[in-house]
Amino acid sequence: MSIIPTRNALPEGFETHVEAEERRAYKIEVLSGGNKTQQQLARKLQRCRKGARCNTGACDVCERLFRLRLLRQLEPILASRSHWTRASVVPADFLFAPGELGNVDLNALRKKISKRFERWSLRNRIVIAGIDISYNIEDNEAVGWQLHLYMLVEGEHTPQLAEAVKATFPPEKTARVPYHFTQLTGRPGAALTYLYKSVFWRRSRYTVYERWPVIRTRNLPLKRPELRELLEFIGRYPIGARLILRGLRRDGRHLIVTKRRKPAK
């Protein structure tokens, strides 16, 4: 996919080019202290510049440009539909042990997810889904790399929609809240940037004992070895490899809605 920066105003809270460059510089420093493959990735990121982009999923600058382009392409599509539901899903079998992330085949995983969309009961709906990754910790013990989905599904947030998602993606047993649904309101920019993220976290779940035990979660920066493992994994794939579109197809630089049997309600 061609990466073409837009001159339009940035959505509120969207990272600037300078912020993306700073994050990339830190990743180059971290990768430079890793193994041979990670050092090669560091040099690839270092060579990335205007007119000669690296187009790797590990590059913050390339990911930022991709996310901006995606936002501009999808805004009119979202605006043309009355209702959208935002869903986060932590599916079973998407949890991988520390050190095993490199064994995951992202392309095969995307195909698996797409096949599930083909078989689910909401076949006529547009779906825009992004695969996110977190390193999960519980009470200071590593749980592993959790891949999960952030989705925008065409239609109102109804019990039918929620049950279709749950039936399609059984929950991860270790996830405290495997599903979360909200009706999308307001401008779609924040929702679009939410579903395809470029910042990854160490998600720490811990128990606080007050009058009774309370489970809390907070996001922390990845430690350097964890960040190297993650970057080596996503650095194998081009930008956009974590994005799944259903009911849409590319027509040159544009996204258009494919023909469907009946409109979604």
Examine residue 76 and state whether it is found in any structural domain, yes or no.
Answer: yes
Examine residue 204 and state whether it is found in any structural domain, yes or no.
Answer: yes
Give per-residue pLDDT as tens, 47-63: 999 999 999 999 999 99
Examine residue 10 and state whether it is found in any structural domain, yes or no.
Answer: no
- List C-alpha distances in Å: 260 to 98, 151, 247: 42, 20, 8
Please give the structure tokens belonging to residue 239. Answer: 């930008």
Examine residue 1 and state whether it is found in any structural domain, yes or no.
Answer: no
Examine residue 5 and state whether it is found in any structural domain, yes or no.
Answer: no
Q: How does residue 6 score in pLDDT terms, banded at 50, 70 and 90?
A: very low
Residue 45's nearest CA partner among 21, 69, 19 is 21
d(CA 150, CA 28): 28
Q: How does residue 115 score in pLDDT terms, banded at 50, 70 and 90?
A: very high
- The three-state secondary structure class of 229 is helix
Q: How does residue 9 score in pLDDT terms, banded at 50, 70 and 90?
A: low
Rounded average pLDDT over 117-139: 93
d(CA 20, CA 45): 12
Task: Residue 210: give the domain boundaries.
Answer: 17-257
Examine residue 193 and state whether it is found in any structural domain, yes or no.
Answer: yes
Size (the chain), residues: 265
- What is 19-56 written as a DSSP string? HHHHHHHHHHHHHHTS-HHHHHHHHHHHH-BTTB---B
Q: How many domains does the chain have?
A: 1
Examine residue 12 and state whether it is found in any structural domain, yes or no.
Answer: no
- Looking at the chain, the whole-number percentage of residues with pLDDT higher than 70 is 91
The whole model's pTM is what? 0.89
Q: How does residue 198 score in pLDDT terms, banded at 50, 70 and 90?
A: confident
Q: What are phi and psi of 217, to 5 degrees?
A: -135, 140
Examine residue 242 and state whether it is found in any structural domain, yes or no.
Answer: yes
**Residues in CB range of 116: below 8 A, 6 or more apart:** 168, 169
The whole-number pLDDT of residue 2 equals 39
Residue 46's nearest CA partner among 21, 16, 63, 15 is 21
